[in-house]
A and B are shown apart, each in its own frame.
Chain A
């Protein structure tokens, strides 16, 4: 019988696998414990800061974080200055919200994208100290079913929408627990489009975003209520995201503590974030 090519190919494939298995090096990485080295950036002498694509108002104005306009942009520059990086030593990159909180090596030093600090996320990435305490708020079209709600019970029959993977969605499913399953979108743009298309009664965002959305982005909408910061399981606090066990975490924490203590952070908040009064508080 002629040697059958069809029998030899699987054997060759198996042989290749064996060679690959023997030839690869052992994985040796044991991550270093979080340190306080301000110079351990991925690029020497430059602090790489990441934010969303696009970055929304009022966190970054006009999607240009390099300008320093916008709450998160200003906070990033203030923290960088404390860490020893002048404004021209800060490089901005963009990342996907979801991708930034997955485990693995990062292509940024710090990431600011309204990430709420949660224990689940803290297992895969490092959070800095909080730089903002947020609360959830509801945006709805004027005249919708959600208007006039004073307690969570009033919201049970409302059709909600929120961005996937956010604490806003968590808030809907675990605190409000409506009778209808909420609609979930890739980003806030989808939630806004659904509000305008009358597919949902209300969308949940953090308060500053909600104020911007209702004031500027959707005509005929309003922030019909906000929730106290203590609702739900966590007080919603934003922290900067760093790679797990990054050497920079201690340094970033020190910087945030400094600007909190000396009033810089409060000044930035007053400058860029609108006042929280006006929207009625919805109690549990």
Chain B
């Protein structure tokens, strides 16, 4: 039988106590919200305008179907964004003078695509590029809208990856050099794994932000969830469809962020840090 130390027993009692206090405090706040907000004078109007149950039930299946398009666009964008931003970040991080044009190109790329609003990029690429083709298959706005999203987001994500790369202490590269590893070996086996693990929270941030920016593809035609919510809003003159869309988004983003938190905690425990409370 493992015997708990006095420290461990103390910490367990503290944890139990914190749990009870947190539970009580949350109940008070939630109870107050549930009881007091309906007492506000215009609550009825707001409730009818934003939280109408019938309209919610009516638009929900349509929104779910439109959301499937978002999911597909998202599924296509994420690996492409990751690959492109990794390429840009790594090229920006090269040190050899012979690779200067590559570094310059990466800098110009990030500057331009971070500076130009995503909406503009989507219109320019979504409407502009297809005009050059004759075939319907190649002018599909889904292709070019996704391409515009990928180009825009890679600029942001590449900066996050670069932050991770620069966050790896120089001594790691020095140690790798002294072991006789080449630059590319250092990058792939020593620096990158550490860097990528560090930047999980900001990457998750970008991912969640991307899930919502996918809606911008609706500007060039496809009916995805926010466009469908807008059409329903016009049809019913009520904003509940947007609330329903928000519920669907939350149902997807909250598990994603919890997974990211779990990965982070696991990493923290693995690298041996003790929590200071």
Binding site for B on A (CB under 8 A): 7, 10-11, 13-14, 17-18, 20-21, 24-27, 98, 101-103, 120-121, 123-124, 159, 161, 164-165, 169, 181-186, 190, 193-194, 196-200
Partner among B21, B133, B221 whose Cβ is within 8 Å of the Cβ of A190: B221
Q: A26 and B41: CB pair below 8 A?
A: yes
Q: A124 and B219: CB pair below 8 A?
A: no
Residue interface mask B6-50, A partner, CB < 8 A = 1: 000000000000000100010011001100110111100100010
Taking CB atoms and an 8 Å cut-off, the chain B residues in 151-167 that contact chain A are: none
Of B201-209, B226-234, B252-260, which binds chain A? B226-234
Partner among A25, A101, A123, A186 whose Cβ is within 8 Å of the Cβ of B219: A186
- B residues near A182, Cβ cutoff 8 Å: 223
CB nearest neighbor in A for B31: A14
Q: How far is the CB of B216 from chain A (nearest CB, A)?
A: 11
Binding site for A on B (CB under 8 A): 21, 25, 28-29, 32-33, 36-37, 39-42, 45, 49, 127-128, 130-131, 133-134, 136, 139-141, 218-223, 227, 230-231, 234-237
CB nearest neighbor in A for B234: A165
CB nearest neighbor in B for A24: B41
Q: A185 and B141: CB pair below 8 A?
A: no
Q: A21 and B39: CB pair below 8 A?
A: yes
Q: B25 and A7: CB pair below 8 A?
A: yes
8 closest residue pairs by CB, A with B: A183-B221, A165-B234, A14-B32, A197-B130, A124-B237, A193-B127, A197-B131, A21-B39
Distance, CA A181 to CA B66, complexed state (A): 11
Q: How far is the CB of B57 from chain A (nearest CB, A)?
A: 18
Distance, CA A165 to CA B228, complexed state (A): 10
- B residues near A101, Cβ cutoff 8 Å: 234, 237
Q: B231 and A196: CB pair below 8 A?
A: no
Partner among A17, A98, A190 whose Cβ is within 8 Å of the Cβ of B234: A98
- A residues near B236, Cβ cutoff 8 Å: 120
Q: How far is the CB of B277 from chain A (nearest CB, A)?
A: 14
Q: How far is the CB of A195 from chain B (nearest CB, A)?
A: 10
Partner among B136, B139, B219 whose Cβ is within 8 Å of the Cβ of A185: B219
- A residues near B227, Cβ cutoff 8 Å: 164, 184
Q: B141 and A164: CB pair below 8 A?
A: no
Q: A24 and B40: CB pair below 8 A?
A: yes
Given known contacts A21-B36, A25-B41, A164-B231, A190 and B237 CB-to-CB distance under 8 angstroms? no
- A residues near B42, Cβ cutoff 8 Å: 27
- A residues near B219, Cβ cutoff 8 Å: 185-186, 190
- B residues near A14, Cβ cutoff 8 Å: 28-29, 32, 36
Q: How far is the CB of B192 from chain A (nearest CB, A)?
A: 39
Distance, CA A181 to CA B141, complexed state (A): 14
Q: List 30 A-B contacts (CB under 8 A).
A: A10-B28, A14-B36, A17-B32, A21-B40, A24-B40, A26-B41, A27-B42, A101-B237, A103-B237, A120-B236, A121-B237, A123-B237, A164-B227, A164-B234, A182-B223, A183-B141, A183-B223, A184-B223, A185-B221, A190-B219, A194-B141, A194-B220, A196-B131, A197-B128, A197-B131, A197-B139, A198-B131, A198-B136, A199-B130, A199-B136
- A residues near B230, Cβ cutoff 8 Å: 98, 164-165
- A residues near B234, Cβ cutoff 8 Å: 98, 101, 164-165
CB nearest neighbor in A for B136: A198
Q: How far is the CB of A140 from chain B (nearest CB, A)?
A: 13
- A residues near B218, Cβ cutoff 8 Å: 184
Given known contacts A183-B223, A198-B134, A18 and B231 CB-to-CB distance under 8 angstroms? no
CB nearest neighbor in A for B45: A27
- A residues near B237, Cβ cutoff 8 Å: 101-103, 120-121, 123-124
CB nearest neighbor in A for B140: A199
Given known contacts A7-B25, A184-B223, A198 and B36 CB-to-CB distance under 8 angstroms? no
- A residues near B134, Cβ cutoff 8 Å: 198
Distance, CA A184 to CA B29, complexed state (A): 43
- A residues near B36, Cβ cutoff 8 Å: 14, 17-18, 21
Q: How far is the CB of A123 from chain B (nearest CB, A)?
A: 7
Q: How far is the CB of A184 from chain B (nearest CB, A)?
A: 5
Given known contacts A14-B32, A24-B40, A199 and B223 CB-to-CB distance under 8 angstroms? no
Q: A200 and B221: CB pair below 8 A?
A: yes
- B residues near A193, Cβ cutoff 8 Å: 127
Most chain B CB neighbours (cut-off 10 Å) among A11, A17, A194, A199: A199
A-B contacts besides A120-B235, A183-B222, A194-B141, 9 pairs, CB < 8 Å: A14-B28, A14-B29, A17-B32, A17-B37, A98-B234, A185-B219, A190-B221, A194-B220, A199-B140
Q: B221 and A161: CB pair below 8 A?
A: yes
- B residues near A161, Cβ cutoff 8 Å: 221
Q: How far is the CB of B71 from chain A (nearest CB, A)?
A: 16
- A residues near B33, Cβ cutoff 8 Å: 17
